[in-house]
Structure 1
Amino acid sequence: MAGYRELLRTPGVARIIAAQLTARLPNGMTSLALLLHIEYVTGSYGAAGLVLAATSVGQAIAGPVTSRWMGRWGMRRVLLLTLAVCVAAIATIAAFTLPLPAYIALGLVAGLATPPVQPAVRTIYPKLVNSRQVTPLYSLDASLQEVIWIVAPVLITFVATQVGTVPALGMIVVVMIVGGLWFIFSPEVARVRIPRSRRSFGKVLAKPSVILATAVGFLLIGACSAVEAGVVASFGHDGPEAGIVLAVFAVGSLSGGLAFGHLPIGPWAMARRMAIVTAGLVLAVLSLNVWWLGGTLFLAGIGIAPALAVVFSMTSASVKFSETAEAYGWIGTGQLIGAAAGSAVAGFLIDGVGPQGALGSGLLFALAGTVVAVVFVRSFPDLRHRDASPIPDTEPVDTVT
């Protein structure tokens, strides 16, 4: 904890972490609020699912594209443009009763215009601290983002069910504006300029570390989504058990990140951390008792934030600074697709087998992630004796001979 206190005392670090967490808080609210609102307006969960699918598709497409734009037009311009469009789309959904195709189109626009705060802040981090603090900072970020998934769903569900779905969407718009502007006009965003990448779009995926980070992120988030679906199916929507168990899952991740984030990252770090997630899920599938699930998912959660810290650090250390934002955009897209795949597989298994089928699918996702980390261990960078800062961009310099 002393290391984290030192990090937070570094000028600008605490401010940028708080600003980006506030700006990203709507990420934990929007899907649930749209689900409840569209179902209320149309009377159909199927219709709501189509809108959510369109939003997710938009986010998956936009991730690497808007992230790369930041190197061409600057972070502030891209963030302001996407923020304005996303706010307008969500506000329109809240303000007007529209036919389903219009809601789907607006959901797609909101997804396409989701501000790339996450790639932006993870590009900024290495410029705020010294080299030995980069990996702990990524770990702290991965840990603290669990606060979003603990607080946001509870808050938006309370507002949507007790006040109304329109006020819930209105609250998202307000938080999006306040958090987005706070982050955009933070001094750190102005000071860091992403060089324009000289490589064509998508070439960063040729880096083995980026492919591995994207693949493991896909499998890890797929496991988490399947587990969430299984927990909800186990306890239903009427009681507090599902929310409590999922909160414990997130607290496990937060605890793991804070406890192990300072550890050096070697080639086997990802395999060990994914193995913790897998071990917890092996135990979780044995019983649906609320106390058993809470304890086993806390254990599984201990590996999540540390594994994500490896994803962020290995990406940063393996690409040029001009390519970091696009690389994080691709990783975010992989995680979004993983979330959709995990939820879809879990949904089919819940209908066919029951909640334990969903937990079992989560276990298989996590096990696959562990296998990938073991099989390709030689492709993971060894950061035990080097920092996770991006590779500097260089260009030819004319000399007189």
Structure 2
Amino acid sequence: MTLTDSPTSRARTTYGAVLGSPHVARLLSGTLIGRLPNGMAPVAIVLLVTTDGGTLAFGGLLSALYGLASALSQPVKGRLMDRHGQTRVSGPTAILNSATLLALPATGTTGSPALTVMIVVLGGLSAPPLEAGLRALWPSVLPDPVRRHTALALDTGTQGLLYITGPLLVAALTTAHSPALALAVTAALGLAGTALVLTAPPSRAWQPTATRVGGAPGRLFSSGLFMLFVALVGIGVAIGGMNVWAVAMAERHDTDLLAGVLPAAFSTGSFLGGLLYGHRTWPGTPTRQLLTGAGGFALGWLPLLTLPTPAPATAVAFVPGAFLTLIVARSFTITDTLAPPTRTTEAYAWLILSIGVGQAAGAALAGRLADHPHALAALSAVGGALALAVLLLSLPGRSPARPGRHRRWGG
């Protein structure tokens, strides 16, 4: 893997100092709010379909289509952002996404399945690329690498909370009123979060390097970047397999709550691991840190092979989650190093897509293995081992790479 590796110091910072830096709290909170629909819309769509009298299978199909369309369109939206800036891309997509979410209950989901599918796919395609956009802003908002390291870890570690908070909020709104209200709130949150980001000075002034220097787009996929994305597919396989394994555990032990508790334990581990990781800069190069995270992630799944009971299984799910933020944060750092400076947002979007594709593949494979408990329990470990093996195999022949560069928003 062609990485520029340099040892990091044991410098420290505080979350208060990072969040107190100009625009950081606004950008982070805006992105989290604007991305809540990613965790809310798929659940709200299923509930809307079943409330309208449709089948759970149709609701599940629509939910999967929304997520798949959102993931597959990320690189295109990232490339458009690299060419035209954040406001011209995220603004219109957020409006269109919210409009589709409001249109679903208005048109109904059972009268015309084809129209419903079209609306859902359009909604997924138009999900604003806030995550990739935020990662592109950090170098200009936080020039200090120590504070930027902490912000990236906090940013990455809190992503899992979206998939805990979002479904819970949808369930509460549906119980109190209806799925239509849940979709309306989802649409409003998406618009509000996106507006909070896009009206911030760093986002309004951010320009890709190509705009500033008139550079050509450049070749995106070096061998190192390609291998990194392949490794992240393995990480996604482990996560997707874990979600289905949690449902299987709930059925096996006749405890519906486990289907939510086990993924929540994994996400909690990611959040707390991110807090620990971001509190300071750690020794070792980015590559070594990535390998450490991938090794811990892969080993953390091995206890599942013993088919543990619910309490130990919950503890097991926490362990690999604790390494996830390290993996994702360092993957973004390495991507910034390997991608051409004119296409960094697009590269970040491919990184996000790689994990998403792995999750979909992991869930599909796990569904096939649902009747084979040992094989299902081993799937997440296999995904983690695949990621670690790809990273190890891609290390020989390292050579320096040009670091990504962006114009600072302030000048």
TM-score by length of 1: 0.89
Matches within 5 A, 1:242-253: 242-253=259-270
- Alpha carbon RMSD of aligned pairs, Å? 2.4
Cα distance between partner residues in 2 of 1:216 and 1:160: 38
Change (3 A) 1:150 1:263: farther
Alpha-carbon contact 1:218-1:334 (below 8 Å) kept? yes
Change (3 A) 1:90 1:381: farther
Q: Which residue of 1 aligns with 2:274?
A: 257
Alpha-carbon contact 1:349-1:358 (below 8 Å) kept? yes
Cα distance between partner residues in 2 of 1:367 and 1:143: 22
Q: CA deviation at 1:35?
A: 2.0
Alpha-carbon contact 1:225-1:342 (below 8 Å) kept? yes
Q: CA deviation at 1:149?
A: 2.2
Alpha-carbon contact 1:142-1:309 (below 8 Å) kept? yes
* Alignment pair present for 1:176 and 2:190: yes
Q: CA deviation at 1:368?
A: 0.5
Matches within 5 A, 1:2-401: 2-97=13-108, 98-133=111-146, 134-196=148-210, 198-199=215-216, 203-205=219-221, 207-236=222-251, 239-261=256-278, 262-264=281-283, 265-350=285-370, 352-354=371-373, 356-378=374-396, 390-391=404-405
Change (3 A) 1:195 1:266: closer
Partner of 1:263, secondary structure, is coil
Change (3 A) 1:208 1:186: same
Q: Which residue of 2 aligns with 1:396?
A: none
Moved more, 112-121 or 37-46: 37-46
Cα distance between partner residues in 2 of 1:286 and 1:91: 46
Q: Which residue of 1 aligns with 2:9?
A: none
Cα distance between partner residues in 2 of 1:381 and 1:127: 26
Change (3 A) 1:195 1:284: same
Q: Which amino acid aligns with 2:362?
A: G
Q: CA deviation at 1:362?
A: 1.4
Moved more, 339-348 or 230-239: 230-239
List alignment gaps of at least 5 residues for structure 1.
Answer: 394-401
Alpha-carbon contact 2:228-2:391 (below 8 Å) kept? no
Q: CA deviation at 1:24?
A: 0.9
Q: Give a deviation string over 1:227-276, Cα, whole Å, max 9, x none.
A: 01111221149643332222221111111122123325432222211111
Q: CA deviation at 1:53?
A: 3.4
Partner of 2:128, secondary structure, is coil
Cα distance between partner residues in 2 of 1:136 and 1:317: 18
TM-score by length of 2: 0.87
- Tell me: higher relative CO, structure 1 or 2? Use CA pairs within 8 A at least 6 residues apart: 2
Cα distance between partner residues in 1 of 2:172 and 2:231: 34
Alpha-carbon contact 1:252-1:298 (below 8 Å) kept? yes
Q: CA deviation at 1:137?
A: 2.4
Change (3 A) 1:87 1:324: same
Cα distance between partner residues in 2 of 1:16 and 1:174: 18
Q: Give a deviation string over 1:271-327, Cα, whole Å, max 9, x none.
A: 211111111110123124111111111111111111001111111122233211110
Alpha-carbon contact 1:266-1:382 (below 8 Å) kept? no
Change (3 A) 1:254 1:57: closer
Cα distance between partner residues in 2 of 1:106 and 1:342: 26
Q: How many residues align?
A: 385
Q: CA deviation at 1:361?
A: 1.2
Alpha-carbon contact 1:160-1:168 (below 8 Å) kept? yes
Partner of 1:322, secondary structure, is coil
Cα distance between partner residues in 2 of 1:94 and 1:35: 12
Name segments (4+ residues, structure 1) moved above 6 Å: 379-383
Change (3 A) 1:9 1:381: farther
List alignment gaps of at least 5 residues for structure 2.
Answer: 1-11
Change (3 A) 1:99 1:392: closer
Q: Percent identity?
A: 21
Alpha-carbon contact 1:234-1:288 (below 8 Å) kept? no
